[in-house]
Structure 1
Amino acid sequence: MSELPALLPSSSPIIVSGIWEVRVAVCEFGERGRLSGLTDSELLQVAAAARRQTSWAQARELAAIAELARRRGEDDPAVGYRGLSAHEAVVEEVGAALTVTGNAAATLVHLAERLTGPLTETLGALEAGHIDLATARAISDGTENLPDDVVGRVQVAALEKASGQTSGQVRRRIKRLAERLAPQCVEERRREAIRQRRLELWESPAGTADLGLCDLPPEDAHAIYNKISAAARGVRADGDTRSLQCIRADLATQLLNGHPLPDAIQALLAQAPPTAVAAIPDAVGEQGEEHDEVIGELAGMADRQLGQVCDRVPARARSAAVAHAVARIDLRLGARRDTFCRGGDDTHGHPGYRAPAALRREIQVRHSTCVFPTCNQPSHRCDLDHTTPWRPGITCRCNLAPLCRSHHRLKQTRGWKLHQPWPGLLIWVTPAGAWYIVRPDRQ
């Protein structure tokens, strides 16, 4: 089957005037009966196009809600204590029309008013399919209560990279920008959130219940988590074969029920499964600046060479072709990388399997999170992975990167490849032949 139209690949941003072509393409190629005839790459293109169509529809929904709120505000009569304000009434009206809860309707109305007010560029990006609704919410939440001039600057900066980032990555970027541009407003927003701290309880679809402490001061939340984690690791070391997450939950339950810490630990050990039950071994328990111009040059080289591969090679053979292109890039950079890594020493890398503490810290600074493109797991909670497995791979900055346990296992899954042609510059290749470049953090 021929490739889908050029407007479909996720690497090609669409414009508002082209949304109808996307809708036609989704309808034509996305029918369930025809999906079986598409290649893996074409299926992902259809999914990406459908997602952009969804963004367009959500932008229309929010624009309609905003217009309704504006009209109700203009017609708002004076109400006494017996009636609702125009804003409260329109929230209930939206909730009834869309069959959503009052809280969900209030969130939609607030977001709609923000996107048609100070964040019109964000609404335009949503309508064009450059971002999704979660990212639009991240921009709205992150710019809440900031001065108007700061809102505009943060919005522009966030939208520059938002099309290639997850909503979590956008939130982190906005947080850094806001802290730099309006530190007093950010601090006041934090204090206000802390004043509204609370304990919440809700039921899950599995028939269980979730309990959460919300909007605690960060230092208190981290102190509680670290204390429970340290005790849970001690219980694990004493022979409890359950997962660390399970032990944390059981220990927190014991403590919140009023048991002193020593008694809670003893109770957990008494409930521990027999040691004959095999524990799941840790695959790799290690936890873990290049110049911007160099990284930009190398990433550009990778973009050009891999782009040529994807243009010329059929989708079904693309994964192997991308791997060969990465190998060519690796050869071209090999001598420069070795010189960079040796730093005047004849020995390349550390002789042992485990990285020294200084090297581990360097890798964690270079990448603050797991190096999978959409992962936000902090690097200090990740495995310090050898991109090329140990022996022939070496323990060096050019062959180490933080991977959370899930993406560490993904890297070792059939069809997935991870390359590091330059220290900190990583290239993922998926089973469908798509490739994703991850650069070092320089924020």
Structure 2
Amino acid sequence: MNAEIAELTATMRGRGEWEHRRFFPPGPKLAICLSGGDGTLAGLSETELIEVAAAARRQTAWAQARELAAIAELTRRRTRDERDDHPDYRVLSAHESVVEEVAAALTLTSESAATQVHLAERLHTDLPETRRALEAGLLDLPRARAISDLTDHLPEDVTASVEEAVIEQASEQTTGQLRRRLRRVVQRLAPEQVERRKREAIAGRRLEVWETQDGTADLALCDLAATDAHAIHNKITAIAHSLRQDGDVRSLDQIRADLAQQLLRGTPLPEAARAVFTEQVEPIAPPATSPPSLTATAAVSAEGAPTASVPLECRDTADVLADVIGARLAQVTEYARKQGRLDGLDARLRHSVRELQDQVAAARDAHCEAADHRHTGYRPPAAMRKVIEARHPVCVFPSCNRRSDRCDLDHTSPWSQDGQGRTCPCNLAPLCRRHHRSKQSPRWALYQPWSGLLIWVTPAGTWHIVRPERRRE
């Protein structure tokens, strides 16, 4: 690497830094050229700055191609190793297991990780030219994804023909232009499949709601027939224009949104229009109370979501222990790397966590006895569930955001009547149904060495620490 840097430095002497490198191919050498802080850009011309931006985009595409290649190889190995018998519905398949590992490692939701795994598989099976274009920096990831999306579920020969028809010009088109080109080509080559996909999409029509970063929420009707969607939009728009002409000072978007709310709440159309015209928007009042303290007791908000925190002393113990475990697992990983023994690392990590868990078992049991929060039965009482939901407002899988009141309350160590797998906050955590299956899958492991402190170990030998009081983002 030092020789490469010296060679590039010698090449740059006596000329503009980016001269003759406008189309420098992505890879390690381009990474060296792009290295350095903002100060390295100060002496460049505006033309060169644009070339640096374009080069960085090519390098990004190359790096993303490497990411997808690694995911595809992991998927290939796991699928190859999976036995050909009937899978147990209580555990994840090899493909699902890879999805959850990718989600945890890349901090993605399960849905986003599944999309990433699917794209990786397609680029390394059905779309070789698209993969090569991404590796060469000729395409960015959104355009590669567009080609994958619009050729999905098409016959193999049709997919190859579509890719051949669009790949040459794809690097010169925006994502929108490429999608329009893809639709025209697919419509010409496979009209039956296009119609079938349309029918399947309409069959999956749905109403969705999700929260935004501003504390509001979006509501959407998805996958309606295009004619129906346009008819609904045109009807509401026509009424909104009428209200504007009658003197409503709000924007057209605001009127449409308010009118849609009234109609969806069941207000008949004439009354809905009158209500929208006469309603006044109240200013947003500041919160009346301060945020709960660290020592607040468990409570439930108006929406049913836990709002309280766990005691400060419990959180401090969990944080200290989390740091110790993280340092120990990092040492185990580094030692295995130096010894060239990364295969089977997951088993060594699990062994290390169990050792550390045994070392704090007496202190944890004493804390549990002092708190007197054990329960003799399998199902935790409602008060205990509220405490745990307050401690972990969402599923304890690292990248999951499903609310804990919609999750299973799982015994980290399986429940048993002899008390080994106790029903108490020290051994319970919320897991959505999918990640409950992840925990039960071969080579996955979940530990709770201290109340609210969760340690995941994945089959690939990575670990993830989830601390108490994890909040929805």
TM class by shorter chain equals 0.5 to 0.7
Whether the 8 Å CA contact 1:199–1:212 is kept in 2: the answer is yes
Residue in structure 2 matched with residue 73 of structure 1 by the alignment:
79
> Where does residue 246 of structure 1 map in the other structure?
254
Q: 1:60 & 1:141 partners in 2: Cα distance?
A: 20
Q: Which whole-Å CA distance do the structure 1 matches of 2:187 and 2:63 have between them?
A: 33
Q: Distance in 2 between matches of 1:69 and 1:239?
A: 60
Q: CA deviation digits over 1:408-440, x for unaligned, max 9?
A: xxxxxxxxxxxxxxxxxxxxxxxxxxxxxxxxx
| 3-state SS of paired residue (2:82) | coil
Q: Work out the percentage of aligned pairs sharing the same amino acid.
A: 57
- Give the match's secondary structure for 1:199: strand
| Alignment match of 1:48 (pick from 54, 62, 78) | 54
Code of the residue aligned with 1:158 in structure 2: it is: V
Q: In structure 2, how many angstroms separate the alpha carbons of the residues matched to 1:48 and 1:264?
A: 52
Q: So what's the TM-score if we normalise by structure 2? A: 0.54
Larger-Rg structure: 2
Structure 2 equivalent of residue 152 of structure 1: 160
Query: What CA distance in whole angstroms lies between the structure 1 residues aligned with 2:20 and 2:249?
Result: 53
Local SS of the residue matching 2:210: strand
Q: 1:69 corresponds to which letter in structure 2?
A: T
Show the 5 A alignment for 1:326-365: none
**Which amino acid counterpart does residue 196 of structure 1 have in structure 2?**
G
- Provide the rounded CA distance (Å) in 1 between the counterparts of 2:273 and 2:46: 50
1:206 aligns with 2:220: no
**Aligned equivalent of 1:105:** 113
Which residue does 1:95 correspond to in 2?
103
Aligned residue for 1:121, secondary structure, equals helix
C-alpha displacement of 1:272? 6.9
Matched, 1:39 2:45: yes
User: What's the CA shift for 1:216?
Assistant: 0.7
Question: What are the Cα deviations for residues 77-119 of structure 1, in whole angstroms up to 9, with x where unaligned?
Answer: 2332332211111111222222211111111111100000010
Q: Which residue of 2 aligns with 1:373?
A: none
Q: Where do 1:388-427 residues align within 5 Å?
A: none
2:151 matched to which residue of 1?
Answer: 143
Structure 1 CA distance, aligned partners of 2:147 and 2:240? 37
Structure-2 change in CA distance of 1:40 and 1:251 (3 Å): farther
Alignment of 1:120-135 (within 5 A): 120-135=128-143
- Give the Cα–Cα distance (whole angstroms) in 2 for the partners of residues 133 and 205 of structure 1: 25
Do the aligned partners of 1:240 and 1:272 also contact (CA within 8 Å) in 2? no
Closer, same or farther in 2 for the Cα pair 1:38/1:206, shift >3 Å?
Answer: farther
CA-based RMSD of the aligned residues comes to 1.8
- Deviation string, structure 1 residues 41-60 (Cα, Å, up to 9, x no partner): 32222121111111101000
Letter in 2 for 1:175: R
Q: Given residue 34 of structure 1, which amino acid in structure 2 is its aligned partner?
A: T
Cα 1:24–1:239 change in 2 (3 A) is same
Q: How many Å apart are 1:3 and its aligned residue?
A: 6.2
- Structure 1 runs not aligned, ≥5 long: 274-443
Q: What's the CA shift for 1:246?
A: 1.7
TM-superposed CA distance for 1:184, in Å, is 0.2
Asked whether 1:63 is paired with 2:69, we answer yes
Give, in whole Å, the separation in 2 of the partners of 1:170 and 1:214: 23
Task: Decide whether aligned partners of structure 1 residues 241 and 66 sit closer, same or farther in structure 2, where only a CA change above 3 A counts.
Answer: same
Which amino acid is the alignment partner of residue 23 of structure 1? A
> For 2:175, which of 167, 186, 190 is the aligned residue?
167
The answer to whether the 8 A contact 1:69-1:87 is kept is yes
Kindly provide the CA deviation profile for residues 125-152 of structure 1, in whole angstroms up to 9, marking residues without a partner as x.
1111111111111000000111111111
Give the whole-Å Cα distance in 2 for the aligned partners of 1:272 and 1:221: 29
Secondary structure (helix, strand or coil) at the match of 2:160 reads helix
In 1: Cα distance, 2:195 partner to 2:221 partner: 20
| Cα distance in structure 2, aligned partners of 1:34 and 1:246 | 47
Indicate conservation of the 8 Å contact 1:178/1:186, yes or no: yes
Question: 1: CA distance between counterparts of 2:137 and 2:252?
Answer: 40
Partner secondary structure for residue 69 of structure 2 = helix
SS at match of 2:207: strand
CA distance in 2, matches of 1:249, 1:82: 43
Q: Distance in 2 between matches of 1:109 and 1:262?
A: 50
**Counterpart Cα distance in 2 of 1:164 and 1:76:** 42
Q: Which amino acid aligns with 1:115?
A: L
Structure 1 residue 20 displacement after superposition: 3.4
Cα displacement string for residues 332-352 of structure 1 (whole angstroms, at most 9, x for unaligned residues)? xxxxxxxxxxxxxxxxxxxxx
Task: Give, in angstroms, the shift of residue 202 of structure 1.
Answer: 0.7
Alignment partners' CA distance in 1, 2:143 and 2:20: 25
Residue by residue, what CA displacement relative to the aligned partner does 1:260-318 show, whole Å, maximum 9, x if unpaired? 22222212221379xxxxxxxxxxxxxxxxxxxxxxxxxxxxxxxxxxxxxxxxxxxxx
Partner of 1:382: none
Name stretches of at least 5 consecutive residues in structure 2 with no aligned partner. 1-14, 282-473
Rounded Cα–Cα distance in structure 2 between residues aligned with 1:132 and 1:176:
21
Residue 198 of structure 1 and its aligned partner are, at CA, apart by 0.9
The CA deviation at 1:38 is 3.0
SS of 1:82's equivalent in the other structure is coil
Partner Cα separation in structure 2 for residue 250 and residue 234 of structure 1? 14
Specify the alignment match of 2:383 in structure 1. none
CA distance in 2, matches of 1:193, 1:60: 32
- Aligned residues of 1:66 and 1:109 also touching (Cα < 8 A): yes
Which residue number corresponds to residue 191 of structure 1?
199
